[in-house]
Structure 1
């Protein structure tokens, strides 16, 4: 469980920094294929190697262990994916169909907001 969390966190931080596995491996002074196995939670990582990865990512140890941010990131990615699918569904529709869908969605959201307030 912890191996998987650490691996996912390394992947998230690496991607946020815009680094490939190879670039991170070079910055950390370790093998690129090793980074992949760690990110997938397939390989145990020593504290010494984790320290190299932290330095390679240019983050603090505190940032490395902020696992709640991974959850936030996953939710943002899922939301973005849903919005992209909705956008593609709407794109192929006519203007009139989009206006109708807009009014229906707006009514639904207004109802949800009203129910949350009262």
Structure 2
């Protein structure tokens, strides 16, 4: 699941930087076919290689893991991927904001559950 999220985020960052897989591979000093396999989530990427790709994209490690910015159809996300994306949205929020969001979500779920009964 994490490999797919990293791959989708990598593809998103590469595209918004107007880079082809070949151009990013050259900047990162790795093989272009490797970039494609990472973007598809087919390849288990090492931290060292991920660092090269982050440097090639000229982004920070924090930016690399902002999964909520992935330009993807949420319907294609698996349950765990969607939860990771939601977590990414909340990560930089204050504790008070998180508590407010929790109360709102709880109220929404209670309302949904009461309509089922």
> Which residue number in structure 2 is paired with residue 65 of structure 1?
65
Q: Which runs of 5+ in 2 are unaligned?
A: 74-117
TM-score by length of 1: 0.60
- Structure showing the higher helix proportion among its residues: 1
> Which residue number in structure 2 is paired with residue 74 of structure 1?
72
TM-score by length of 2: 0.61
What pairs with 1:1-118 in structure 2 (closer than 5 Å)? 1-70=1-70, 73-74=71-72
- From the CA coordinates, give the structure whose radius of gyration is larger: 1
In structure 2, distance between residues paired with 1:60 and 1:67: 13
Output one character per residue of 1:70-112: Cα deviation in whole Å (capped at 9) or x when no partner.
Answer: 1xx336xxxxxxxxxxxxxxxxxxxxxxxxxxxxxxxxxxxxx
Q: Which runs of 4+ in 1 moved over 3 A?
A: none
Q: Which runs of 5+ in 1 are unaligned?
A: 76-118
